[in-house]
Amino acid sequence: MNFSRLSSGLLLLALLGGGLAGPARAASTADWEGCSAIPADAERLACYDRVSGRSQLETAPRVEAEPAPQPAAAPPLAQLPEPKLLSALSRHWELDDEAKQGAFLFQPHRPNYFLPVKYSNAPNDSPFRNTFAQPGLGLENIETELQLSFKIKAMQGVFGHDNADLWFGYTATSFWQAYNHSISSPFRENNYEPEAMLVYRTNYELAGFRGRFINFGLSHQSNGRGEGLSRSWNRAYAQFGLERGNLALLVRPWIRIHENRGSDDNPDIEDYMGHGDLLVVYSKGRNAYSLLLRNNFKSPDNRGALKLNWSFPLIGRLKGYVQYFNGYGESLIDYNHRQQSLGLGVSLAEGM
């Protein structure tokens, strides 16, 4: 006897006797036998469930997922204030809190520039006459000038006073007879000026201008030479900085700290360099214009100087630079010599 057929028949009888026929329709014997012929157990059982009207799996009632809670609408952001535009004086002396950069950082002080071509209408030969080996030699009208100047804030908030900062500055200016090959193209003059400056922030109004700072400074300026070519002097000054829009005024009266008569190599320097200077700076876009004035306020021997600077954009941060000078004291060796000069070059870093 075929055991497989016997087991299938017994299973069929059990299902019929147990009343497993679905209520939807009566399953035929052929349907059941068709299921019994399926060799795979899982598929055979599925067939029996289908014929009997039962589902293979009980499915749980579908639960609609609740929508994810929406985050509460954020209150509208407060309008952020526009960044404060810092003036030229504020950037230069860090007068506003937004301009503060801390101590011991190299920053431009006076203008930094290189003038590869500079013409003078009256070069000052007189101090060098004894140094020329041959008669007829002298300075040429065209030379080169270079100025490098930086400052460092040594103390931010002097003695706990937030409105006072201590600065140190250094400026070196070189006048080079680069095209004068007959005398071996020497540097005819180098001027060195270290300074100490206590800058005190102010805030007052004067004739439409805002007073931003008072600078109390000590300055030593010399050309580093000896004997007949030595020139030097020391000054104590107070500089007042005011501004209105893009216009800045810097008024600087000074007092010379006199040396001993025997060691003073230029005792009359105040007669030519005066007792102070006025610097006017105007900015428009990336162009900057400055005017420096000095005068001794004497009559009839009135002497002084005028210097005009213009910097303008060239490439990236590099700027063109034009300088015109008229008067006395373009350099220390020329403090008592009058000349006019015009130089063309580039500005390496802004200064004031």
- Looking at the annotation, which residues are catalytic? 220, 222
* Residue 31 neighbours by CB under 8 Å, 6+ apart: 51
CA distance 215 to 197: 6
Q: Phi and psi at residue 36, in whole multiples of 5°? A: -65, -20
CA angle 69, 73, 79 (to 5 degrees): 160
Which among 248, 298, 291, 293 is positioned nearest to 271, based on CA atoms? Answer: 298
Show the tokens assigned to 132.
């020329």
Taking the CA atoms of the chain, what radius of gyration do you get in angstroms?
Answer: 46
The DSSP bridge pattern shows strands 338-349 and 318-328 to be antiparallel
Q: Supply 322's token pair.
A: 């034009």
270 with 292: CB under 8 angstroms?
Answer: no
Separation between Cα atoms, residue 122 and residue 120, nearest integer Å: 6
